[in-house]
């Protein structure tokens, strides 16, 4: 057995011993030792191997596997630009706290700066400390080192976030059939990891004594569910993004022109990354006391308004004002009526219609992945309560890239999944539909609201009438792509639906990969949202 093969076999074995169950592989030459070792482990039933030819898609597939399963997942690729293509997924994992290992093959260090093919300096490429493996040699005394480094990588990822493991391989890169008789390459007995790492926690508990009865709890992506229990016991209203659970239309209320005095909080508790709504950020900036509950030392504070932070918040002794919660609940009900009346008067489909009807139609136990453009905002606005549906979204960096692949990863690790995406988000990662004939196919239905361009920009400042002259070319970006033909090229079924009943039928059962397209217009989108905001504001008067 040559040194590169020996090192790869040990590395893969120790990953499995440390609980890694899913690995995504993009084919290449320099990572051939890892490819052989992973295929052997998968054939023996020790792990699930997923092969994708595009490294960017592979990175997001691994991200989805880790997000859906809640366990460390690895993605491996060859050297050079292949590594750079993992960067978007690594960034999302970094800011969303997803346990991901980027396992990159490299050329021997002596080839750096020599003009050798596919050779770049990969150290620190992702802006992370790189866990660098020494190049394997034909000598004894390396097994413990290799296994110890794997344990360190997995333990670091379990703390929440990505780890870059860089492994240089020297030729030969393929098994040669010889034995490795220099030392025993076995791991610990009984399939135990080389180093058993106890969970590491840093806990700071803060009493809620400094928070009065007029406290508003804002829950974003990645929040500790214990905050919801605290709010219920304290009698505080909760405004939550779609990936959490709270008042149905809380963020819609905060986006109204003026928040009435009876709904204006004295204090705000922020849990998770609440970045979806400008109204939410505005009320955070106005509150006298803002307490961020965050397990990470980089607590979220884009308004520079946080006055207190801790990993946990416990109920203190304070006065309870039942009228405070009641006022929010009544306002929430009024906002729900406004949304219902407005959608009843508006021709189907708009993004709000589709979000509402999709949420109503999903089978219990389904996973829902939301694209980071209008879909996640539409779901936030219509806010149909579905506690039996697990909602996912890439809200760490909130990019649209890799959405199809992320949703596929969630489906492979957590079961049937429906993704709601805009057309640009879908096209940006249409390569995520490419699943080879030898690969496990996820149970994934992708619902695409196709308004032929960037509908979200219609709702932002650049969508104002005074900027109409150049809007379509640089923001609207119509594409004219025939999604049916695109799906056919990937051997993926495509269905065009034109009514709520048809949509309900297509998402009632999630089997295999399917794309459901709904065609909509962007022309009246800005006016629709303005009417919605105005109607909610009028309800306060």
For 272-330, what is the HEC assignment? CECCCCHHHHHHHHHCCEEEEECCCCCCCCCCCCCCEEECEEECCCCCCCHHHHHHHHH
- pLDDT for residue 252: 84
Burial of 319 per CB tally in 10 Å (0-12, 13-18, 19+): exposed
Q: What is the pLDDT of residues 140-193, one digit of tens each?
A: 999 999 999 999 999 999 998 999 999 999 999 999 988 888 899 999 999 999
- pLDDT for residue 243: 81
CB burial of 289-310 (b: ≥16 within 10 Å; e: otherwise) equals: bbbbbbbbeebbeebebbebbb
Query: How much helix, strand and coil, in percent to the nearest 5, is found in the chain?
Result: 40, 15, 45
Q: Does the structure show a pLDDT above 80 at 245?
A: no
CA neighbor of 267 nearest in space, from 223, 312, 319: 319
The residue-averaged pLDDT of 362-381 equals 94
Q: Does the structure show a pLDDT above 90 at 539?
A: no
Greatest Cα pair distance in the chain: 83
**In the structure, what pLDDT confidence band is assigned to residue 541 with cuts at 50, 70 and 90?**
low
Helices (H), strands (E): how many in the chain? 19, 19
Q: Does the structure show a pLDDT above 90 at 461?
A: yes
Q: What is the pLDDT of residues 90-133, one digit of tens each?
A: 999 999 999 999 999 999 988 888 888 889 999 999 999 899 99
Q: Rounded to whole angstroms, what are the CA distances from 332 to 180, 248, 443?
A: 69, 7, 35
- pLDDT for residue 199: 83
Euclidean distance between the first and the last CA atom of the chain, given in angstroms as a whole number: 79
Q: What is the pLDDT of residues 4-39, one digit of tens each?
A: 999 999 999 999 999 999 999 999 999 999 999 999
The answer, yes or no, to whether the previous bond of 172 is cis (omega within 30 of 0) is: yes
- pLDDT for residue 32: 98
- Token pair of 312 as six digits: 């946990």
Give the whole-number percent of the chain exceeding pLDDT 90.
Answer: 77
Contacts of 70 (CB under 8 A, 6+ apart): none
Q: Does the structure show a pLDDT above 90 at 502?
A: yes
Contacts of 7 (CB under 8 A, 6+ apart): 33, 133, 136, 142, 146, 167, 169
- pLDDT for residue 311: 92
Q: Residue 229: count other Cβ atoms within 10 Å of its Cβ.
A: 11
CA-based torsion, 92, 94, 97, 98: positive or negative? positive
Domain with CATH 3.40.50.970 in the chain: 3-175, 346-539
Q: Residue 259: count other Cβ atoms within 10 Å of its Cβ.
A: 19
Domain with CATH 3.40.50.1220 in the chain: 205-323
Q: What are phi and psi of 303, to 5 degrees?
A: -100, 5
* 205-323 under CATH 3.20.20.70, yes or no: no
The answer, yes or no, to whether the previous bond of 349 is cis (omega within 30 of 0) is: yes
Q: What is the pLDDT of residues 208-235, one digit of tens each?
A: 889 989 999 999 988 888 999 999 999 9
90 pairs with which residues across the strands?
none
- Are 66 and 96 in contact by the 8 Å Cβ rule? The answer is no
The residue-averaged pLDDT of 31-52 equals 98
Residue 271 CA to residue 292 CA, distance in Å, equals: 6
Q: Rounded to whole angstroms, what are the CA distances from 110 to 31, 119, 122, 130, 369?
A: 18, 10, 13, 18, 45
Q: What is the pLDDT of residues 55-101, one digit of tens each?
A: 999 999 999 999 999 999 999 999 999 999 999 999 999 999 999 99
**In the structure, what pLDDT confidence band is assigned to residue 246 with cuts at 50, 70 and 90?**
low
Q: What is the pLDDT of residues 275-288, one digit of tens each?
A: 888 888 889 988 99
Q: What's domain 3-175's superfamily in CATH?
A: Thiamin diphosphate (ThDP)-binding fold, Pyr/PP domains (3.40.50.970)
- pLDDT for residue 540: 66
Domain 346-539, CATH among 3.10.20.30, 3.30.70.141, 3.40.50.970, 3.40.50.1220 = 3.40.50.970
């Amino acid at each position: 057995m040559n040194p590169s093969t020996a090192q790869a076999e040990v590395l893969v074995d120790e990953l499995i011993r440390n609980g890694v169950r899913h690995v995504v592989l993009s084919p290449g030459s320099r990572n051939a030792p890892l490819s052989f070792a992973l295929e052997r482990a998968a054939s023996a039933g020790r792990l699930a191997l997923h092969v994708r030819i595009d490294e960017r898609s592979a990175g997001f597939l691994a991200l989805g596997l880790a997000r859906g399963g809640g366990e460390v997942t690895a993605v491996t690729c060859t050297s050079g630009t292949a590594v750079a293509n993992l960067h978007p997924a690594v960034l999302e994992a970094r800011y969303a706290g997803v346990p991901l290992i980027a396992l990159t093959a490299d050329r021997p260090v002596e080839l750096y700066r020599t003009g050798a093919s596919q050779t770049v300096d990969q150290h620190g490429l992702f802006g992370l400390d790189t866990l660098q493996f020494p190049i394997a040699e034909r000598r004894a005394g390396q097994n413990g080192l290799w296994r110890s480094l794997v344990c360190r990588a997995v333990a670091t990822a379990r703390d929440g976030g990505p780890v870059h493991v860089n492994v240089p391989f020297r030729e030969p890169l393929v098994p040669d059939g010889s034995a490795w008789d220099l030392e025993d390459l076995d791991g610990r007995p009984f399939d135990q990891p080389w180093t058993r790492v106890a969970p590491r926690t840093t806990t700071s508990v803060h009493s809620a004594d400094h928070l009065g009865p007029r406290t508003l709890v804002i829950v974003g992506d990645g929040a500790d569910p214990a905050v919801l229990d605290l709010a219920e016991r304290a009698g505080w209203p909760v405004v939550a993004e779609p990936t959490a659970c709270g008042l149905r239309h809380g963020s819609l209320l905060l986006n109204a022109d003026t928040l009435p005095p009876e709904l204006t909080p004295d204090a705000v508790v922020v849990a998770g990354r609440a970045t979806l709504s400008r109204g939410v950020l505005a009320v955070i900036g106005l509150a006298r006391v803002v307490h961020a509950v965050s397990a990470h030392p980089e607590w979220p504070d884009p308004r520079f308004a946080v006055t207190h932070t801790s990993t946990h918040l416990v109920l203190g002794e304070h006065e309870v004002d039942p009228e405070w919660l009641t006022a929010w609940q009544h306002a929430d009900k009024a906002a729900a009526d406004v949304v219902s009346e407005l959608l009843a008067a508006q021709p189907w489909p708009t993004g709000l219609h589709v979000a509402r009807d999709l949420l109503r139609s999903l089978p219990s136990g389904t996973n829902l992945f939301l694209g980071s453009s209008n879909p996640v905002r539409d779901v936030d606005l219509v806010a149909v309560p579905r506690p039996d549906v697990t909602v996912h979204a890439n809200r760490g960096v909130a990019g649209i890239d890799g959405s199809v692949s992320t949703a596929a990863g969630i489906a492979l690790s957590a079961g049937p999944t429906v993704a709601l995406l805009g057309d640009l988000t879908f096209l940006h990662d249409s390569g995520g539909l490419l699943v080879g004939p030898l690969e496990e196919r996820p149970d994934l239905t992708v619902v695409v609201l196709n308004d032929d361009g960037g509908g979200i920009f219609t709702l932002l400042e650049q969508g104002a009438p005074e900027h109409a002259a150049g809007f379509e070319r640089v923001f609207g970006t119509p594409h004219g792509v025939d999604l049916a033909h695109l799906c056919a090229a990937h051997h993926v079924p495509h269905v065009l639906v034109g009514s709520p009943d048809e949509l309900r039928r297509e998402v009632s059962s999630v089997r295999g990969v399917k794309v459901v397209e709904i065609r909509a217009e962007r022309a009246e989108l800005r006016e629709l949202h303005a009417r919605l905001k105005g109607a909610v504001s009028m309800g306060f008067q």
